[in-house]
Amino acid sequence: AKDGFLREKINVDNEKLQDAINFDISEPLNQWNKTSSTSLDASKNCMGVVQVRVLAAQRLMCPIGSTVQPVTSLMPWKGKVRGECTTAFGHEEKGVCVKWDTSSEISCCSMVHAGRDTLVVPTIKLELIFKPLPLLEFSMCSLQLSCYPLMKQQGNWKKQWCKAELSDQLLERESGEHESPFILVEAAFFPATNEISEDNNNSEKQPSQASNLTKSSTVISSHVLKTNNKLHLFKLQSMWRPAQCSICKRSLVGWKKAFRCETCEIDCCKDCRVQIDFQIPCGSDLARRVVENSIQNKLTLSNILTTIAPVDKKYEKQIIHSVQKGDTIMAKSSLSTGKGSEDTMKRKELNKFIGQFRIKIDQACIFESFLPIETNPADIFDTSNQNSLKKGDYYLRVTCIDTSETNRTITVPSSGKSKFSSHEMVFNVSHYGAEYRMEVFDAYNNKPVGTALLTAQALLQLQRDRLIEKFGLFSFLPSIGNKIEPYPATLKVELRAGIKHGFESTYSLPTKTSKSTKVNITPGSISGWVILEASFQQDFGNLYGQNAIECPSKPPSKLDLELFQLHISRIFSLVRSIREAFTLYYWLISWDNPTVSIFSLVIFVWSCLRFNLEYIACLPIILLVSVMLLSAAERKKGRLKQHFIQQQKESCIKEILENSVDRSNFRPVGGIEVKVERGRNLRSQELGISGSVGCHVFWHPLRYIENEEDKKNFISQDKLLESRQDMGETNFVFDADPEWNKLTASSELRRMQRLSPNLETLLLERIRGSKNNKADPENSKSILFPFLQPVCRKENFKKKANFGVEPWKSIQGAIVVQVRFSDVLNKLPGFKDTLGEVVIPLSKVMTNNQISGW
């Protein structure tokens, strides 16, 4: 009876659904991207809204009566939109089918594409979820549709049956061949501008013609993203107070679960990021109301105290009336005195600044592997190999170091060469030494990937150089220069890792290790580059007007050893340049090159006769002027900074070469393999009973030296002979005739193995004479201990000529195998835990190459 009732219900549902949607598919199936043969205009890949509506699906791999839900996302943007759940029904020819109610506006999901001209065309990813239980879901099938045809014909709806692919999770559970499901999709792209393409000569229909959507299609298509809508600037945060998503009302309490907008402070989950810019625009009245009504604003201390101890309404009205009365008296007094004028206050506030710093971020590039600190930045700007870029979600933040004023771009997803094309950021400049830090952040962990620094003084100097090139020296005249607008300078600046603060303390000292890549990051290494447009617009009214103000000076900086070292290096570089100039002058008058000296003498005599004999020092003055002109030309071409960096590199390389050791003085390394196999008659000396027996192996360098003076002489020649070094120990076996199957390396030996991991393999190849002798530290019956070849130093041993290595046979000390006994009695006072020692001289081992036996 139950089966008959279900069949009757299914037949009734089939009749209703077949009237609404036609499940017949015409062959052959049209391709979604059939218009991809023509190129897409870059201007059409703009900011807008992608609206997707899932109408129906057939040939699904789920039981009849189960719950099916569509999940839509827009790649590469993060987030996804979950649609309405519906119930699957049976069809005589099409198998298990589903159909969604299209009469409501909820059935259409709207996703924001914050695109730029050079970004890739987004892709719609549609996935059907099968829910056997409310908290349990499985992916049945999915399909990906390019937004290319939607952007080609903006504002037009495209409706089509599309073939989906079965999910891997379903194919693992169900064996055999299965028919591919089909999904009826309707989508459109509405740009942020009100201008919609008038090219309607297409085969696709408007939503009112494509399906029976009646009024809902008109309502949805009118909801276009406005051009003046700001996009949310989300930052990943941890929430430890009650919070919920503004869209789906999901709880956001936990470690790094919430995304909070830095502009309007609205909260959002990771799935709703793709639609919140359309549903609740940033800075709108709706966003302000959502923040005011959020749980966090309601659970404030004042609200809790008001709930616990309510305030009398009459008393509250008296307080408000007294405050308003006091404000009225203050306003009257300010009007009477004239000191409270808003214009005057604003003027005083603006007089504190000397101009405005304007910056626009174009794009940034992040490398997969960082380049060394000494790399020339000009050599990396032409890097266009996409394989060497590190893809991720990045945003760029600009911060004024003095005032902590900050602004940032939107997050660009899944890109190693992020195209920001940000709006113009404006910062008020208080003095010419203002510094600005530009940091590229990884949005996944909110950690900086690379940092660049820029000062207002350097930007102003660059603008002046460009004005001189175009208008000449007349651009410095106030009557002309003040009327010339500063040209935005397009800069390509390298990004460096490990920048701690600003120019005062540029790099952090310790080498950092990246947790994600497990790679050491050297401070100052180049991680990428950024292209930007910057300009510094001075307020000439404050600086050169009738009521001119005094230009504020840069705040005094704190004493920093890193900054002190940087200044010392720059002073040494300047002294080095002056010394080179004097060396050149001495070479001119030294007659090392007679031709040059005669030419300089002729210039000197002519100058003295032409001008006056008292100008006897005209030649060095001419040389000094020539050097100054040459330096000016170098600075104009931007080579002065590179010259300083090159000098620093050369001095560092020279210092390394001076402190390096000649390769001929390196001590060769050898190794001794030790293996302890078994023992006999190992019993306690007091009672002669058996116990747990093990061996401890170590190297005793001064074993055969008894005189203290001789010991001091040997230690002075080689510090390695000062103390014994543990090699390893065997496992303990409870037997009088033990057989040891494991020899564990000591902590000293393990540290040496970590310092030189390949040394053990190379030494074993030489000792055993075969390859593939990599030792297993866990189950090894032998250990390999490295030795340095003995050295000999005489009285004047500091000189390299009297330093040398001795033959291996002259090595001192012995290998000691100490047999230890462990039972209950030897833990008491008066009982020893050492049965005896086996002492093997190292010189004997070196002479015979091998010693084995009892």
Tens digits of per-residue pLDDT, 312-349?
Answer: 666 666 666 665 555 544 444 444 444 444 554 555 55
Write out pLDDT tens, residues 448-494: 899 998 888 888 888 887 777 777 666 666 556 555 666 678 888 88
**Segment 569-572 long-range contacts (CB within 8 Å, at least 24 positions apart):** 569/648, 570/644, 572/651
The one-letter amino acid code at 310 reads: P
| DSSP labels, 655-693 | HHHHH---GGGPPPEEEEEEE--B-SS---TTT----EE
pLDDT at 773: 52
Q: Quick one: which of 643, 637, 740, 645 has its CA closest to 695?
A: 740
CA gap 266, 288 in Å, rounded: 8
**Segment 738-741 long-range contacts (CB within 8 Å, at least 24 positions apart):** 738/678, 738/679, 738/682, 738/693, 738/694, 739/677, 739/678, 740/676, 740/677, 740/678, 740/679, 740/694, 740/695, 740/781, 741/781
Backbone angles phi, psi at 804, to 5 degrees: -165, 170
Write out pLDDT tens, residues 398-407: 999 888 889 9
Q: Quick one: which of 768, 787, 676 has its CA closest to 731?
A: 676
Backbone angles phi, psi at 730, to 5 degrees: -85, 175
Q: Quick one: which of 752, 755, 696, 760 has its CA closest to 728?
A: 696
pLDDT at 340: 47
Q: What is the mean pLDDT of residues 497-514?
A: 55
| DSSP labels, 462-529 | HHHHHHHHHHGGGGGSHHHHTTSPPPPEEEEEEEES-B-SSSSS-B-SSPEE-TTT--EE-TT-EEEE
pLDDT at 17: 46
The answer to whether 186 and 53 have CB atoms below 8 angstroms apart is yes
Taking each helix axis from N to C terminus, what angle separates 561-589 and 618-636, rounded to the nearest 10 degrees? 130
The answer to whether 441 and 393 have CB atoms below 8 angstroms apart is no
Write out pLDDT tens, residues 581-623: 788 878 888 888 888 888 888 877 887 777 665 555 566 677 7
CA gap 735, 743 in Å, rounded: 17
CA gap 92, 22 in Å, rounded: 13
Of the chain, the percentage scoring pLDDT greater than 90 comes to: 8
207 pLDDT tier (thresholds 50, 70, 90): very low
Write out pLDDT tens, residues 507-538: 443 445 554 444 556 777 888 999 999 988 88
The answer to whether 748 and 737 have CB atoms below 8 angstroms apart is no
Tokens of 779: 């189950």
pLDDT at 460: 86
657 pLDDT tier (thresholds 50, 70, 90): low
Backbone angles phi, psi at 228, to 5 degrees: -90, 5
pLDDT at 795: 52
pLDDT at 634: 75
pLDDT at 827: 64
Q: What is the mean pLDDT of residues 119-148?
A: 86
CA gap 821, 684 in Å, rounded: 7
CA gap 781, 779 in Å, rounded: 7
pLDDT at 553: 76
Q: Quick one: which of 697, 691, 771, 766 has its CA closest to 734?
A: 691
pLDDT at 31: 76
pLDDT at 71: 93
| DSSP labels, 172-202 | HHS-S--PPPEEEEEEEEEESSS-------S
pLDDT at 544: 72
Q: Quick one: which of 441, 849, 823, 791 has its CA closest to 673?
A: 849
Say how far residue 825 (Cα) sits from the centre of its chain. 62
CA gap 141, 165 in Å, rounded: 5
Whether residue 646 is predicted with pLDDT greater than 90 in this model: the reply is no
The answer to whether 420 and 341 have CB atoms below 8 angstroms apart is no
Whole-angstrom distance between the N-terminal and C-terminal Cα of the chain? Answer: 92
Q: Classify 363 as helix, strand or coil.
A: strand
> What mean pLDDT value characterizes the chain?
76
Whether residue 55 is predicted with pLDDT greater than 80 in this model: the reply is yes
pLDDT at 337: 44
Write out pLDDT tens, residues 171-204: 777 666 778 899 999 999 988 865 444 443 343 4
